[in-house]
Amino acid sequence: MARPDKVAAVTQVRECFEGSTAAVLTEYRGLTVAELADLRAELRQSGADYKVVKNTLTRRAVADAGYDVPDELFTGPTAVTFCPEDPVAAAKVLRTFMRTHPHLVVKGGILEGRLIDAAETLSLADLASREELLARMAGLMEAIVAQPARLALASLSKAARLFAALADKKPAEPAAPAESGEPEAQDADAAVATEATPGDPPDPQAVAEPAEGDADTDQ
């Protein structure tokens, strides 16, 4: 019969896996206690939690959570970085820490229920973090408010891409540039009516209506 303390420990680790968007398995052999404390503090600032867990408990907790993780990921001293919100920010911290502390090794992870290898885990650091996307969004919204209606359409298209990237935690695709050029003569009135809204300043590129009585000098 399993000891109650081990059952409680497995349950706690399983709940951490189930409550995380991503979890990164690392080997920390060779790191000092002070270095581990620094890493834990940096990860905490990014919203992640770094836990040193026995391999037997981690393996059982992963299985109880319904994940199929190879046994080779549970060799050597293992710590798990649990990312409840933004795995990109945690991946950036881990990759930066590895540059000055080569003893830290990323072995792989679980991202939204899918097993990923070490290379794919570290590639998350190349994506835009949630904070970066929010900062871009704030700047873009300020620009939209300051722009005329027609120019704002292109910015709104870019904003939609940023919203999608923020939801998926993927980098936003650049927005297509606003189309230039004047509408054809027969569509001029319709184009002006569509782009202008009550209270907007007149569009300097709108086609002017010829005044009555003007004569065509070429006729």
Any domain includes 11: yes
What CA–CA distance (Å, rounded) separates 211 from 219?
Answer: 17
Q: The domain containing residue 29 runs over which residues?
A: 4-126
Please write the tens of the pLDDT for every residue from 162-202.
666 666 654 445 555 555 444 444 444 444 444 444 444 44
Q: What would the two tokens of residue 211 be?
A: 């005044």
Question: How many of the other CB atoms lie within 10 Å of CB of 16?
Answer: 19
Any domain includes 216: no
- Asked whether residue 36 falls in the same domain as residue 100, the answer is yes
Which of 70, 59, 63, 108 minimizes the C-alpha distance to 87? Answer: 108
- Asked whether residue 142 falls in the same domain as residue 114, the answer is no
Residue 212 CB burial class (10 angstroms; 0-12, 13-18, ≥19): exposed
- Asked whether residue 99 falls in the same domain as residue 44, the answer is yes
User: CA distances (Å), 160 to each of 5, 140, 141, in order?
Assistant: 49, 11, 11
Domain tally, the chain? 2
Residue 35, classed as helix, strand or coil, is helix
pTM above 0.75, yes or no: no
- Asked whether residue 91 falls in the same domain as residue 116, the answer is yes
Please write the tens of the pLDDT for every residue from 120-134.
888 888 875 555 555
